[in-house]
Amino acid sequence: MALRSRSGTPRAELSTLSESELLVRAREHPVPRHVAIIMDGNGRWATRRGLPRVAGHREGVKAARAAVRAGTEIGLDYLTLYAFSTENWSRPEDEVSMLMSLLEEAIYRELPDLMARNVRLRVIGRPGGVPLPIRRGIDRVVEATRDNTGLTLVMAFNYGGRDELLEAVRALAVRVQAGELAPAAISEADVSAALYTRDIPDPDLLIRTSGEMRVSNFLLWQIAYTELWITPTLWPDFGARDLYRALVDFQGRTRRFGGV
Ligand code: FPP
């Protein structure tokens, strides 16, 4: 039997629908509150065209802009983008510095659009280690958008899931040492509250582009019951249509959260 989305469309047929048709379908059912994306494949996109990797990252910025617009269009509450991981520092130095300035420039350039769309920017990740001018530039946009009430765009920047958990463990250990918390009383809520994402709901859907079947140290605690959607599309080619397709697919699933 062909798997069907809740609206009755066989999943295979979703690939034949246009962006506007998919948008209509996605609007027929509740949309997830929080979508997280591992944006992968910029390098391969460029290499396949005989271009330098940075050209792929530039196109990746355009795809990120399109994803934010589509996210606001469909009414997501949170969109988390994995922009730079704690492991990305091991890339060649020139690629790292290009990526840093590209991300900061992109965020700053997008400020008017973020304001017009009522988008609030949040950043998760380790602030230390990020060059100061880059950090200041990003902080300015976080500050300027803090009172916006629409989509929250969460940029994971210098982020690592294990790093985040380590920080949380250390913070809890300090509370235990201070006698504020008994080890046996530490709850899941305490761990969640010690993460960068303390006031952000766990992602409902995690999208990964470029076909890799791994989670790459992203939101390790938070994705315990998150639905996954992996597409072979490389990130620079990912558009609103792909996002809506993932959402319609998600809407057709039954989430069990470990139950039956
Ligand atoms: C993966 O491509 C992408 C990244 C390393 C993250 C950088 C993302 C962007 C520049 C997109 C823009 C984001 C924002 C928030 C403005 P890759 O280099 O790992 O590709 P590869 O696996 O093909 O080498």
Q: Which of 175, 217, 223, 172 is nearest to 201 (CA)?
A: 223
Least confident of 1-10, 39-48, 122-131: 1-10
- pLDDT score of 144 more than 80: yes
Angstrom distances, CA of residue 66 to CA of 21, 128, 145: 17, 29, 19
**Which residues form the pocket of ligand 1, taking CB atoms under 6 Å from any ligand atom?**
39-44, 57, 60-61, 64, 81, 83, 88, 99, 102-103, 106, 155, 210, 235
Token pair of 249, please?
């697919």
Mean local confidence (pLDDT), 65-77: 98
CB 38, CB 64: distance < 8 Å: no
- Predicted TM-score of the model (pTM): 0.94
Half-sphere exposure (Cβ direction) of 146: Cα atoms closer than 13 Å: 6
Q: Which domains are present in the chain?
A: 29-160+202-249 (3.40.1180.10)
Q: Look at ligand 1, atom 16, and give the residue with the nearest C-alpha.
A: 61
pLDDT number for residue 43: 97
pLDDT at 129: 84
Ligand 1 atom nearest to CA at 107: 16
**CA of 258 relative to ligand 1 center, distance in Å:** 32
pLDDT of residue 6: 55
Average pLDDT over residues 71-86: 97
- Greater confidence, 162 or 107? 162
- C-alpha to C-alpha distance for 57 and 92, rounded to whole angstroms: 14
3-state secondary structure of 104: helix
Distance 148 CA to ligand 1 centre (A): 26
Looking at residue 1, what is its pLDDT? 40
Taking residues 25-50, report their average pLDDT. Answer: 97
